Structure 1
Amino acid sequence: MSVFEFFFKYKPIVYEKGRLAFQLIGSPGWFILFVLAAAAGAYYAYRNVARDKYSNGLLVLRAVTFSVLAFIFLRPVLNISTVLPQESYMAVVIDNSESMNIKDDGQVSRSEQLQKQLESTNFFKRLSDKFKVRIYRFDRDAERIEHMQRLTYTGKRTRLESATDLLYQELGSVPLSGVVLITDGKDNASKQWTESLSRLEARRIPFYTVGVGSESITRDAEIVKVAAPRETLKESTAVVDVSYRSYGFSGRKATMYVRENGVLLKSQEVVLPPDGEIAEKSIDLPVKNEGTRLFSFSLQAQDDRIPENNTLDALVEIKNDHPQILYIEGEPRWEFKFLRRAIQDDPNIRLVTLLRSSQNKFYRQGIDKEEMLAEGFPKKREELFQYKGLIFGSIESTFFTQDQLKMVVDFVSNRGGGFLMMGGRNSFAGGRYQNSPIADILPVQMSQEDRTPVIGKLKLAVTPYGQTHPLMKLSADANANIKQWSELPPLNDFNKTLDQKVGGIVLARGQTEQKGPTDPILLAYQRYGRGRTMAFASGSSWRWQMEMDHEDMTYELFWKQILRWLVNTSPDSVMISSDKDTYLPGETVRLDAEVSNKTFDRMNNAKVVVKVTNPDGVTESLPLDWNGSQEGVYQTELNASEPGIYQVEVNAAQGSENLGKNRTAFQVQDRPVEYYDALLDTRFLQSVASATGGRYYPLSKIGDVPEDAVYVTGETSFVEQKELWDVPFLFMLLCLTLAGEWFWRKKKGLA
C-alpha cells in the first residue's frame, strides 16, 4: 500500500477518472450550500465573543469542521467506469529492437530488467484475470506472439506505427480496453505515426506506456552526425563537421579516428562536453583519390559502455572532371601573370583567360577550340554557362553590355556558378560597378565616392572566423597557420569598400600603417542564389610570390584553394543524388535528378534513366519521372538489400539532344542504429499516454498497470461507486480541526 492509498483509501487513478457525487443529494453542486451553511453556523457560534478574544482563525476552523461533518453525512462517492472481467481485450506491445540490449548501468540489460519486473509483479497473470490479453512484439515490423519466449531483441529499427497499424487491423472490431506499450520510446523508422495512432485514439483507447531504460547513461560517448560534402574535386580539401556528445565523461579526453576505405588517415584528441550537450569538430580531409571514397569517423573513450554508437560513415564522390574557370582581365599586370603561373600545373582546374591587350583586341589562353571566345566575352548564355567559375580582374563595368552584366548575375543565381572580383584600378567602385547589376551579387557594399584604389602597404590579417575556414589554412596546425600569414609580405594596394552585406562573411582584413576607424575588408564571400561570390579587394597578392623564398608555395596554395572553392559546388546541367548516403538493408532509397538544358532552364519533359550497379556488379536500369511539383526534378525509388556500395549513373535526353549525365553513390550497411540516441524518451511516452487518456509508468511501477487499466469507459464497462465517507484523511482532518480549535480557545481563555 502506498502512502497515498493509506490517507485516501484508493489509488490516484481512481480520483483522476472518477466523478464525485453524493448519495443523499445527487449533484455535487448542492454541496456548496452546505459549505455556506457551515460558514454561517461558525459565525453564529462566535457572534457574541468579545473582540479581544475573537479570531478569524477560530471561525475558519469551526467552518471546516462543520463542512467535513456535512461532507461525511451526505455519503460522498466516486462514480468510476470499470470493465467487466474477461469481457474485453488488452493488448501488450513490447519493443523487440536491439536497443533493449543496452545496459544503462553497465550490468543489466533493459530486456533483463523488464523480464525481472514482469516476473516479480506477476504481471501477465494479474492482467489475464481481468482481460483477454494479446501480446505483440514490434521493431521494424510487428507481429502477434503467444508468449514472451518469442522476443529476440534483435530488431534493427523501431517503427511504432507498425504496431498501431497491426492493432487496428486485428482488434479494430473487438472491444479493446487499452494498450500497454513497453518500450524505450525511440522511434527511428515511422513515417506516419501520428496518423496511425489517431485511428486508435478515435476509438478512445488509452495507452499505458511503460518506459524501459534510463534518461542518463552512466558512460557513453557517441558520434551524433557527420556533415560532409557529397562530392568534391580531386586534390581539394573536404571540410567535415563531426558532432558528438557524451554522458559520464564530461571534461575527459577521447580520440577521434578518421579512416578512408578502412585505412587510417589521421587521429585527433577531443575534449568530451558536459552530459547531453553536443560538441562539434571540424576536420580537414585532403582528398587525393578519384572515385567513391568511404570515410569513417570513430570516437573512442576509455570505459565506454555502448561502443556500438561510436562510428559513423560519410560517402564522398571525388570527381576529376576539370571544371573551367573564365578569367577576364582588362590590362596586362603582374597579378594576371602570377595567377596563371600558379594554376598552370594544376591537373584539376582549367583556367581559361581573356586578356585585353588593346582596344577590341584580346589574348586568349587555355582555349581548346579556335572559335572559343573569338568575339571576346560571351554574349550568349550557353557560351558563358559552360564555365563553372568566373573572375573579373581590373576591367571597367562599361566594357560589358547591360545584358552581359545581367547574364553574369544569372550565371551565379540560376546556373549556380562561382564569381570572384579581384582588386585593381578598374575594379569595384574604380570600375563603376556600384551602379551595375554586379553590385547585387558582391558580398561587400561599394561607395559612390573614393573610387580610386589606395596605394600603400597593408598586411593581410585573417579574421577569427577566417582562422577556422579551410580557404585560409596554409598549415594544418592553427598556431603555425597564424604565424605563416603574419610573415607574408605586405600587399601594395586595395580597393575601398564599405561594410559586408547581411549574408557576407569576412575572412580577412587589411592592417595599414595609419590606423583608421575600421580595417578595410580584403577578402569576403557570400551565397547568392544557387551560387557563391567572393571579393578580393587587392591586386598585389603576387608580392607573396616575388618577395618570398622561391621554394615557398603560399601564393600557389592560396589561389588553388580559392579557385577550387569557387567551383566546388557549381552544379552540372544534370545532377543526381540520393536522399542520404547510407541505408539499412531493405530500406527504401529515393533518387532525385535535376535536369536542365545548356542554358540551365529546368526541363520537365526529358527522358531520364538511371543505372544502378549493386556491389556484385549487376546493373539495373530505372526510369525517373518528373515529380510534378518542382521544376526539372525527377524521382524514383528502389529497395536495396545487399550490403555494400551502389554506383548510380543518370542520363537525360530531350528528343535527339543529349542533355548530360552524372553519377553518385550510396551504401547499404547493417549498422546498429538502435544504439544511437539511446536514452529513454520519457517525454514522448508521456505525450502518447496523455493524448490517449492513459498513463505513463516507469518500469519499476509496471505492476500498477493491471489494477489501473480496469478503470476505463467502454461498451463492456459498468459504473462502480467508491465510497468516500470513511476515507482516513477526512477523520484525520476532523481531529486536527477540533484539536486546533480547542487549543486556540484555551489560549484565548474561551475553553
Structure 2
Amino acid sequence: MESKTVLYIILASIVALGIVVFQYIYKQKAKSKIYLLLAFLRFIGIFGLLLLLINPQFAQKTYTLEKPNLVILADNSTSVAENGKELNNIISKIKATKELSNRFKITDYKFGSDLNILDSLTFKGKNTNIHNSLSALKDVYAREQMVTLILSDGNQTIGEDYSYFKAERNNTIYSMVLGDTTKYKDISVGPIQTNKYAFLKNKFPLETYVSYQGNTPVSVFVSVKMNGKIVHRENLKLNSDVNFKAISIQVDANSVGIKNLEVKVSPLAEERNIKNNRRSTSIEVIDEKTKIALVSDILHPDLGALKKAIESNEQREVSIFKSSASKNVLEDVDLFIFYQPTAKFKQSFDFAKSKNANTFIITGSQTDYTFINNSNIGIEIENGYPQQEIFGLLNNAFTKYDTASFDLTDFPPLISDAGPILITSPFETLLGTQIKGLNVQQPLLSVIDENSSKRALLLGENLWKWRVQTYRNTNEFINFDEFIGNLIRYLTSSKNKSRLNVDYEKVYQGSSNAVITATYFDEAFLFDQNAKIRIQVTNKEAQKSQTSPMVLKNGYFEADLTNLVAGEYEFIVSVEKESKTAKGTFVISEFDMENQFVSSDNLKMEKLAVNSGGKVFYPSQIEDLINDLSTNKAYVPTEKGTENIVSLIDFKKLLAIIIIAFTAEWFIRKYNGLI
C-alpha cells in the first residue's frame, strides 16, 4: 500500500474522531456511558464513509514456475505403419523420462492431412501435410516458448514444402527421421492426366510419366490398359542422366460406360517398392447425342444441308420426320426443327409445346403464316407478300454467344415471302435483313428466350447455298457448320429446374476425397435447411449397401464416403417424406499416395530442423535427443510474477457496518429521548 494512502486513512480517523468529540464530548458536556456508545457508533459510521471515499488498495504478488512446451508431432499416415511400434516406443520413452517432464510441459499431437490431439495412432492417414500441422501449432503456442519434436518419415503428399517452413523465435524444431533412409533403385509411374468424360467414337488424351531413381541403365516396358485390355505398349531406356520419360497417347472410346485405365511399368529385378509401378484412374465414356427432329412435309436441299451441318458434331443426331409422325417416335427428341410448317404440323407443334421443348422454325415459300400466327407462340408474320431475295446482316451486338468468327462474304440471298414480323416475347436478332442494299430493320434470324424455353426463327429458304458458298470461299464447310452448330448448342443448352440436385465426381482418385454434396429446395425454390436427406451407397461387385444421413453444411448437404474401399458404386439420394430422389454411379480407384515412396526424406527433415535452430536425430539416437533436451540451457523453467491490485476493504461489508452503526445510533437516541 502506498504511504499516501496510509496518510489519508490516518487523516480520515482524525477527522471522524474530531467530529465525534465535538458533537458528543464538547457540545453535549455529558459523561454517561450512553453518550460514549453513541460517540463510538458515530465514529464508526463517519470513518467508514471516509474509507469508502479513499478506497485504499494494495498490490498482491503471486509467483508461478512456467515450463517451456515440448510438443510431440507424430506422423499417423500409412507410410510409417511399418515403423509404428518404434514410433510408439519413442513417444512413451520421452513422456516417461523424468528429466524431461520436470523441465517441459509435454503435449502430443498426431497428423495426417490435418492436426489432431494424439489419443492413439492408427496409421490410416491417406495423406501427409507436415506444413499445415506446423502452421496450426504456430497459432496455438503464439506467445509461449516451445520445442517441437516431429516424428515422421518426411514424405509429404499434400501442402506446401515444409522444408521452407519459417518457425517463430519462440519455436525450435527437432526432427526424428523414421524408416529407411537408404536410396534404393526404383522406377515409378507419375499421376495420370486425362479427361473425366469422353464421347463415344472419339479419342481422348492420356498423359503420364515414368521416373527412375538409380545409377545403372535400365530397360523397362510401359503398358496402358483399358478394362484389362492393352491399348498401348512401349519400351523405355533410362539411366541416371535420362531418368524421366513422358507418356502421351490418344485412346479410342469405342463403347459406353466407365472405363478403368491402368498404366503399369515392369519392375526392376532388385526393386524394393513395386506399389508405385502402377497408377490407375477411370473415365466415363458417354453417348450424349443430342437428338434433333427435322420435321418437313416437302423435299428440299436445305434438309440435307442442315443435317450435314448439325451432324458435323458427332454428338448430334438428326432424324427427318413427316409432320404426321407419331408421338412415340418424337418422345426422345431434344430439339424440334420445323421446316416450312403448315396446318398439317399442328400435331407435332402441340407435342413440342406440351414437352416444353425448344424449337427452330424455318419459313419459306410454302409456309402457312396463318398457322404460325394462330399457334400462340408469340410470333405474328404478315402474309400476302411476293417472293423476294433477302441478304443477311450479322448483328455484332448479339449477346447470347460469340458469333465473331462467322463470315457472310459473298453469301447468296435467301428467298422469302414473309412480311413484317412482330415478336411479342423477349428476343435478340442474330441476322438482320437487307433487301436491295437497304437494311429494312427486320430480323432474318432471331432467337427468342421465354421462361424455360428457347426458340429460333429464320425467315428464308435456300440455306444450302450458304453452305456451298462457304466451301467455295474456304474449301471446307467449317464456317457454315460452326454457325449452325453454335445455334443448335444454344437451343439445346437449357436445363429444367430440379428441387433436388446432387454434385459428385464420376471418378475419385482413392477414397480420401470421396464426397457427395446435395442441395434441396422447397416448392418456392428456397433452400430447405430443415430437410432430412439420406444417401444409400451400394458396392456393385460385393452388393453391399450402407445408408447414412447427409450432414448440413453451409448451404448444402454433404456425405463423407472416405471409408469406402476401391470399386464401382451406385447411390440413391432421397428426401424424407418426399418422393424426390437422385441416382448416380461413381468409381473409387485403388490408389494410395503414401505407398509411392521408397525411402525416408531425411534431407528435408534435416533442413527443417536446422533452419529453426534445432537438430535432426534418428531412432537409434533417442538417448542423444533426450540428453540434448534435458541439458540445453535454452529450455529451462522460468519464474513469472503476477501483480494484482486488490481493494483493502470489502465494499458490501463496510457499507453494511456503516448502515448498522448509524441505525443503532438513531434507535438509541430515540429510545432515550435524545432526539
- For Structure 1 versus Structure 2, the TM-score category normalised by the shorter chain is 0.3 to 0.5
TM-score (norm 2): 0.48
The structure having more radius of gyration, on CA atoms, is 2
TM-score (norm 1): 0.44
